[in-house]
Amino acid sequence: MATHHSVDPSHAAQALRTLDGDRTRLAVAARPPAALMVALGALAAWWVGAAAGTSPGAGYTPPTSSWLAVAAAVGVAYAVRTRTGVRFRRAGARATITAAALVAVCLVLYSVSLALVSAGATWAVALTSLAAFAAVTWLSTVAYRAAADHVARA
């Protein structure tokens, strides 16, 4: 059996290099599933679009679709984990910041949608909804890639 003293330094160095290579391969293998990222974008578009059915002002009540969207997003996140086969311990600063930006973008677009509805431009909510779809699909992909890259960087 190998012992501490019988291991050749070049063999030990090779073992360490192999571990680095494995982490890089893992980051590549754990690609974000495009269909599920699009599903997250569609959920964001649906939520932002729901602003069109509200009455901004003193009598404003948030649409029930907000809770449904959150529940559906949790379901998609679970599906992402199952599909990729990775449960991250830490996503890293870049992924965390990107995820926070994703939430912020949704909130801003929802607020803009409410403002458009109160200004009588309900039709324009289609544009904010479209923007939410594009932004969330892109940002969720970027956040996932950042988390996978964090694994590769030892």
Which residues are near other proteins by CB under 8 A? 1-4, 7, 9, 12-13, 15-16, 18-19, 22-23, 25-26, 29-30, 78-79, 82-89, 150-151, 154
Judged by CB, which is closer to other proteins: 86, or 115? 86
Judged by CB, which is closer to other proteins: 21, or 62? 21
Least distance in Å: CB of 96 to other proteins? Answer: 15
143: tokens are: 């956040």
Judged by CB, which is closer to other proteins: 83, or 122? 83
Of the candidates 21, 43, 54, 22, the residue with the CA atom closest to the CA atom of residue 132: 43
Q: Identify the three-state secondary structure at position 94.
A: helix
Q: Which residues contact 40 (CB under 8 A, 6 or more apart)?
A: 73, 76, 136, 137, 140
Judged by CB, which is closer to other proteins: 78, or 123? 78
Least distance in Å: CB of 83 to other proteins? Answer: 6
Cα 83 versus chain centre, distance:
14
7: tokens are: 């291991």
Least distance in Å: CB of 75 to other proteins? Answer: 9
